[in-house]
Structure 1
Amino acid sequence: MTVGYILGYDPDTLREIVDPEQCAERLDEIGEQRSLPALLERVWLLKVLGRLDEALVLAEQAVRVARMGGTRKDLLRARVLHATILQNRGAFAAAIQELTTCAEEAEGQNWPLLAAFAYQHRGKVSYDAEDFVTARTDFKRALFLRQEGGAPEDQLESTLLAVDAAERRSRSSIAS
């Protein structure tokens, strides 16, 4: 859904690099559509545009819509996205709790790619909180699950970038 808008990842922050104009145009195109895919895409676009208050309200709505009419996978995706908004707002503990629950449920259901998605984002939360050792552990778990699940090359590359960044940061924090 949003992969086409990602131009790359910042090697220091691990955040998506996007073209803000393209994202704003897409947000306008979607308008007020209420389908779950449209809601999730709007949340992501608002997040990458830095409009976190709006993103949080829509993320909560997306979780409710997924709970009422989506599949369990839909609900997990919506909850992971909601947790990324919490992360960007600095609510690291809440984001980690949500992502941990999502990762465990996805692994329990044998959905490796969805579990990897949750671990990758939990690693990003730890990375933002400057817990680089924990971040590295989550990124490596995500990499394993993505390899096991046959993830596309761009997902494997983004995870490898995250592992490298966490290793680099963890070495530099030990050296200081």
Structure 2
Amino acid sequence: MSYIRGYDPETLRELVDARECKDRLDEIGEQRSLPALLERVWLLKVLGRLEDALVISEQSVRVARMAGTRKDLLRARILHASVEQQRGAFAVAEQELTTCAAEAEGKGWSGIAAFALQHRGKVFYDAGDYDAARADFKQALFLRQDSGVPDAQLESTLHAIEAADQRRMRASVAS
């Protein structure tokens, strides 16, 4: 079930039904499986509970390192970096996402590479580097198209490219 109802056109953050997310968080409870931990991180993040999300994301990375696959670890690290981004730790998030994208691309895991690049684009977007954001969003779009993802994921990437273009135009008019 998807809890995402759309994306904020200014921040590119997920728009969710907070009640549904809180209910799901209660349902998951204190489960410690990797999928449950990752879902808890995401739910806490979209609910704005960033300190809680950070703690659980660090735990999910440890669990993935010990008991998951390499793909699991990359997904956990990308989610952790997205929490850091929302906390404003752009340099930390950018470095982690760059490393994850490079590893995923090196392994031929285009879906995971696209996921990392989409999030790194959001880091650049939040930091005001709209050219770099657009470049990452475009690369994520090509990788997602190549891996045959659902239209909704393509749409979110197309929306991000458009938002970066609009911000670039506003920035050039203002200067």
Query: What RMSD over aligned residues (CA atoms) do the two structures have, in Å?
Result: 0.6
Among residues 148, 164, 169, which one is paired with 2:146 in the alignment?
Answer: 148
The equivalent position to 1:94 in structure 2, one of 92, 96, 113, is 92
Which amino acid is the alignment partner of residue 56 of structure 1?
L
The structure 1 residue matched to 2:29, chosen from 28, 31, 35, is 31
Partner of 2:124 in structure 1? Answer: 126
Tell me what 2:157 maps to: 159
Q: Residue 56 of structure 1 aligns to a residue in which SS?
A: helix
SS at match of 2:2: helix
Secondary structure at the aligned position of 1:4 is classed as coil
Unaligned runs of 5+ in 2: none
Q: Deviations over 1:38-78 (max 9, x none)?
A: 00000000000000000000000000000000000000000
Report the identity percentage.
Answer: 69
Match of 2:63 among 59, 62, 65: 65
Tell me by how many angstroms 1:145 deviates: 0.2
Q: Which of 110, 113, 116 is the matching residue for 2:114?
A: 116
Give the superposition deviation at 1:11.
1.0
CA distance in structure 1 between the partners assigned to 2:114 and 2:48 by the alignment: 25
CA distance in structure 2 between the aligned counterparts of 1:51 and 1:96, rounded to whole angstroms: 21
User: Take 1:77 and 1:18, find their aligned partners in 2: how far apart are those partners?
Assistant: 21
- With normalisation by structure 2, the TM-score equals 0.99
Q: In 2, Cα distance between the equivalents of 1:46 and 1:168?
A: 29
Report how many residues are paired: 174
Stretches of 4+ aligned residues off by more than 4 angstroms:
none
State the TM-score, normalized to the length of structure 1.
Answer: 0.98
